[in-house]
Amino acid sequence: MKNSLAPLTFAFSLLFLAATAFAQPATRTPPPPSPEVHADRTVTFRFRAPHAQKVELSGQFLRSNQPMQKDESGLWSITVGPVEPNLYPYNFVVDGVGVADPVNPDIFPNEGFKASLVDIPGDTPGLHHLQDVPRGELTYAFYESKTLNRTRPLVIYTPPGYRAGKDKLPVFYLVSGTTDTEETWFRAGRLNVILDNLIAQKKAVPMIVVMPYGNMHVGMPRPDSPEVAAAYRVFGDELLTNIIPYVEANYRVIADREHRAIAGFPRGGGQSLFTAFNNPDKFAWIGSYAAYLTPEVCEKHFPSFIADAATTNARTKLLWLGVGKSDFLYQQAAAFNGYLTEKNIKHIELITEGGHTWMNARHYLAETLQLFFK
Amino acid sequence: MKNSLAPLTFAFSLLFLAATAFAQPATRTPPPPSPEVHADRTVTFRFRAPHAQKVELSGQFLRSNQPMQKDESGLWSITVGPVEPNLYPYNFVVDGVGVADPVNPDIFPNEGFKASLVDIPGDTPGLHHLQDVPRGELTYAFYESKTLNRTRPLVIYTPPGYRAGKDKLPVFYLVSGTTDTEETWFRAGRLNVILDNLIAQKKAVPMIVVMPYGNMHVGMPRPDSPEVAAAYRVFGDELLTNIIPYVEANYRVIADREHRAIAGFPRGGGQSLFTAFNNPDKFAWIGSYAAYLTPEVCEKHFPSFIADAATTNARTKLLWLGVGKSDFLYQQAAAFNGYLTEKNIKHIELITEGGHTWMNARHYLAETLQLFFK
């Protein structure tokens, strides 16, 4: 496995560090390499902060924040693990404030906090590791939202061979979480790498994946509140009125419900369920990663989808719901699964170990990628 | 002007903030909106850090770091300006440590520090502002480097209409700075937006722009040291052996020297000059943004390029060098300009106000984009 994203040793002159920095405090020592993943899968994290009183490591591989130790030069460090192979978000909590690892370019894109990513390789490459397979492309695009009167970003995956090809392809709309951006499914979710690998293994069919910016800036009530429906509806309108027409005008797609999927984590999952249930003529493939709707919202907004299970089941190619047992939304997600069962709505449940993590989100993504459009 | 990159008001429930965060300290208040650009072009920056002793604002619109003030809730803030319209990098220096603005998703990609971007709009849209013009695309790609035995990233701009078109196009290789990444020219440099606008105004010809990851991880001697040549050569080998063949195999390009340009800022400028002077059969268009080579390096590594000015001038379509009077590299860059003049090497110099900033780098980029391939 070759991994270009992990930083190698940084060795640059002080002059050239200054050359690309700007009005920064003078740095007399080069930044420490961090994170350093050792052969035994222990990992050393380092952060230079001579004046901080307390620095902790926070990460999805930890049960709780771990205190880091300061040396006489002001360099804080900690070695943890061995850590189970996976790709994990982490950050440093410096006197109570979470900050990304300054010397790690592999960032976790988010509007509400800054974090970084660390990859712990296993004995064999993971689905999220670059392998020697044909590669798709990621395209950054902008579209005009007539409804929001704004230019908004999209990230679009096209599979290997798309540029030179002529075939029309199915499309999967993969929706971001509350404070995530259109980039989070690419960077923290490694959508492109996972799908390249699954297509090479013939476990997924070639498809286009559209990653919208899910934040509609309309506020976000709790998912168990009836008011959440109004917020979800703004996303659905944006998707149907602006995003799907943009994609269908610019990409070779099969523009019917049987070739259109939608899923997301976690607010993106709620938006996906609401949009798909509300528009059964538009989506035949539906995924929910650690998300749910309440019976109250379902019965108010799509009564026939729920009441007429025979029609719903005949039309829905897949309704897939995954959640971890330690997820703080587990009880609500499990209750939603039970509600669907009680209403005879056909669906697939996957209950895993673990919590509300990107390791689980990638797992659920990989599961659904292998089911869509088959 | 519609700008989707600036964050609007953040209004999300605490539950959903937690849903996409991970092991973070409990947040009782939503993050503050930052930066807030006011109508009079003053800007308020805010950063929540109740336990910090000292927080300063650092930015390329300031002459020196400015102290921020803490309120009783632990929120630090400062209002600066009015600020001249432009797009500026900035960050917060928290007890001596530079951190990005946690609630601003518009990041400055870098391996050595983390910073954010703030856009101060003028009365009319700038070249770096999204306007209602046809848009090109940015593609994230990976290629295999046989020389480095690694998979490495590339960002590639294709102009409006490329996907549906058939024409072959010229290619501009735009090289990143020392601790910058393949993304920095797109995010801090706004290459795609500037070029879309220049093409729409018929001031630039449609071209493909390839943004390699310029860090070869070989160390970086000072640019006035003779040892810098060996480091620059590793980049040139990577470009000629791996990157150009990848681009020419996957994109519709005119694969000759008259349709191939190279430029960069600032280490990328040194790499560009060295690679172009060393390979006059490969590049006819050359740009240097706040960079230079020493006479010693020139005369050792490309003696005939320098000595045979008649041949060099006949073959070189453009040798363009820009630098700011306050740049800490100004003296060396001006000396290089003088050396070229003394050797009768035809070139264009642009000496501007300002220092070693991304505002100047974008200015030089926009100048050369209007000259290349004409």
Across A219-244, average pLDDT: 90
Helix (H, G, I), strand (E, B) or coil at B71: coil
Across A106-124, average pLDDT: 91
Model pLDDT, residue A30: 62
Q: List b or e across B200-214, with b for residues whose CB sees 16 or more CB atoms inside 10 angstroms.
A: eeeebebbbbbbbbb
pLDDT above 90: residue A160: yes
- Domains (ranges, CATH) in chain A? 14-120 (2.60.40.10), 137-369 (3.40.50.1820)
Cβ–Cβ of B137/A138 closer than 8 Å? no
Model pLDDT, residue A96: 87
Cβ–Cβ of A24/B64 closer than 8 Å? no
Q: In whole angstroms, give the CA distance from residue A21 to residue B267.
A: 12
Model pLDDT, residue B112: 82
Q: What are the distances in angstroms from CA B344 to CA A171, B128, B270, B289, B368? A: 58, 35, 20, 21, 21
Q: Which residues of A touch B48 (CB under 8 A)?
A: 97
pLDDT above 80: residue B100: yes
A231 and chain B in contact, CB less than 8 A: no
Model pLDDT, residue B2: 39
CB pairs under 8 A between A and B: 281
Across B354-358, average pLDDT: 94
Task: List phi, psi (to 5°) of B359.
Answer: -65, -45
B103 and chain A in contact, CB less than 8 A: yes
Please tell me the distance in Å from B11's CA to the nearest CA on chain A: 5
pLDDT tens digits, B210-251: 999 988 887 778 888 888 899 999 999 999 999 999 999 999
Cβ–Cβ of A13/B220 closer than 8 Å? yes
Model pLDDT, residue B44: 97
Q: Which residues of B touch A326 (CB under 8 A)?
A: none
Across A99-108, average pLDDT: 89
Q: For residue B35, say if its preceding peptide bond is cis, omega within 30 degrees of 0.
A: yes
Cβ–Cβ of B138/A142 closer than 8 Å? no
- Looking at chain B from residue 141 to 200, which residues have their Cβ under 8 Å from any Cβ of chain A? 141-142, 144, 149-153, 163, 177-181, 186, 192
pLDDT above 80: residue B277: yes
If you average pLDDT over every residue of chain B, what do you get? 89
If you average pLDDT over every residue of chain A, what do you get? 89
| The residue to which tokens 């506020």 are assigned | A219
Model pLDDT, residue B269: 96
pLDDT above 50: residue B25: no
| The residue to which tokens 């020493």 are assigned | B294
Of the pLDDT bands very low, low, confident and very high (cuts 50, 70, 90), residue B30 is low
pLDDT tens digits, A34-63: 899 999 999 999 999 988 999 999 999 998
Cβ–Cβ of A150/B4 closer than 8 Å? yes
Task: Cite the DSSP H helix spans in chain B.
Answer: 14-20, 184-187, 191-200, 228-238, 244-250, 267-278, 295-301, 303-307, 309-315, 330-342, 358-369
Model pLDDT, residue A226: 87
Q: What are the distances in angstroms from CA A127 to CA A85, A86, A206, A289, B3? A: 11, 10, 16, 18, 36
A112: nearest CB among B21, B110, B356: B21
Cβ–Cβ of A9/B217 closer than 8 Å? yes
| Sequence-separated (6 or more) residues with CB below 8 Å from residue B373 | B170, B205, B207, B259, B261, B285
pLDDT above 70: residue A353: yes
Cβ–Cβ of A25/B62 closer than 8 Å? no
Q: What are the distances in angstroms from CA B165 to CA A137, B206, B208? A: 18, 12, 13
ipTM: 0.82
A114 and chain B in contact, CB less than 8 A: yes
Please tell me the distance in Å from B88's CA to the nearest CA on chain A: 11
Of the pLDDT bands very low, low, confident and very high (cuts 50, 70, 90), residue A122 is very high
Of the pLDDT bands very low, low, confident and very high (cuts 50, 70, 90), residue A200 is very high
| Sequence-separated (6 or more) residues with CB below 8 Å from residue A157 | A136, A137, A138, A139, A186, A191, A192, A195, A208, A209, A210, A211
Model pLDDT, residue B54: 94
- Looking at chain B from residue 268 to 327, which residues have their Cβ under 8 Å from any Cβ of chain A? none
Across A96-122, average pLDDT: 90
Please tell me the distance in Å from B105's CA to the nearest CA on chain A: 5
A28 and chain B in contact, CB less than 8 A: no
Model pLDDT, residue B179: 85
B64: nearest CB among A7, A23, A112: A23
pLDDT above 60: residue B64: yes
Of the pLDDT bands very low, low, confident and very high (cuts 50, 70, 90), residue B287 is very high
B141: nearest CB among A105, A137, A180: A137
